[in-house]
Amino acid sequence: MNLTIIRERIVACEKCPRLRRYCERVAREKRASFRNDLYWGKPVPGFGDPHARIVLVGLAPAAHGANRTGRIFTGDGMGGSGDFLMAALFANGLASQPFSGSADDGLRLTDTWMLATVRCAPPENKPTPEEIANCREHLENEIAALPRARVFVALGRIAFDACVRLLAPPSGPRAERVRPAFSHGAVHPLPDGCTLIASYHPSRQNTHTGRLTPAMLASAFRSARSAAER
């Protein structure tokens, strides 16, 4: 299945009624500062270089970010997750600019693809286990359509757990090693030659409190580039 078909299936997905109702309501009511914007309001597909070796896995679209712009990690305001993430990618030569304001801002990713564990914005950024499970098909399909993907950077514990379930399940050849543990900057080689890297999520809570600094995130991407080039 190619990325075009996968994108169409993601955008048309109606598996999670609670999330669809929430995204549509946010798109109707809008935030005052975006009242003149036409919100996307649908599930958000991945974005980036289709020949990427590095895949970034986030949590979910922001209600007034990707749910508004239609592009993951885009449009959540100054100091938001998107700009914080893009600055670290730019510092490592993986993004063409250090900000992500709108879907038509000219951003290009190099050797990098980014996507979300859950494709609809969840209330309070808290998807249920069932909603995470419903989205697993989209995660599997999108990663399978990236033929060079070999390094996975999980942004936050939910994304990390989703990657572990997909890349290191409790049965099969990858089960030979102990289940990877989440800690920022941890690099987990997988038996099939892939690499899983853990990072704190670039949420405002983490970045404004100093739990995740620009240097820490840039370091995680240096590790990703190094693993991809081996």
User: Quick one: angle between helices 129-144 and 3-11, nearest 10?
Assistant: 160
Which DSSP helix (H) or strand (E) runs through 47? strand 47-48
Integer Cα distance of 4 and 146 in angstroms: 12
Query: Model confidence over 29-73: pLDDT tens digits?
Result: 999 999 999 999 999 999 999 999 999 999 999 999 999 999 999
Whether the per-residue pLDDT at 101 is higher than 50: the answer is: yes
Positive or negative, the CA dihedral 38, 44, 48, 49 is negative
Helix 81-91 crosses helix 214-228 at what angle (to 10 degrees)?
A: 50
Predicted TM-score (pTM) of the model is 0.93
Instruction: Quickly name the fold that domain 3-228 has.
Output: Uracil-DNA Glycosylase, subunit E (3.40.470)
**Token representation of residue 157:** 């514990």
Of 69, 97, 70, 71, the C-alpha closest to 83 is 97
Separation of alpha carbons 200 and 224, rounded Å: 15
Average of per-residue pLDDT across 199-226 = 95
The residue extents of the domains of the chain are: 3-228
Question: Following DSSP, what letter does each residue of 122-180 receive, concatenated?
Answer: PGGG---HHHHHHHHHHHHHHHHT-TT--EEEEESHHHHHHHHHHHS-SSSGGGGSPPP
Contact 139, 184 (CB under 8 A): no
DSSP H/E element including 10:
helix 3-11
By C-alpha distance, which of 128, 109, 89 is closest to 46? Answer: 109
The band of 175, judged by pLDDT with boundaries at 50, 70 and 90, is: very low
In DSSP terms, 57 is beta-bridged to 115, 154
CA angle 121, 125, 130 (to 5 degrees): 75
Tokens read off for 89: 């990618």
Q: What pLDDT does 179 receive?
A: 74
Three-state SS annotation for 168-198: CCCCCHHHHCCCCCCCCCCEEECCCCCEEEE
Please state the rounded mean pLDDT for residues 149-178. 81
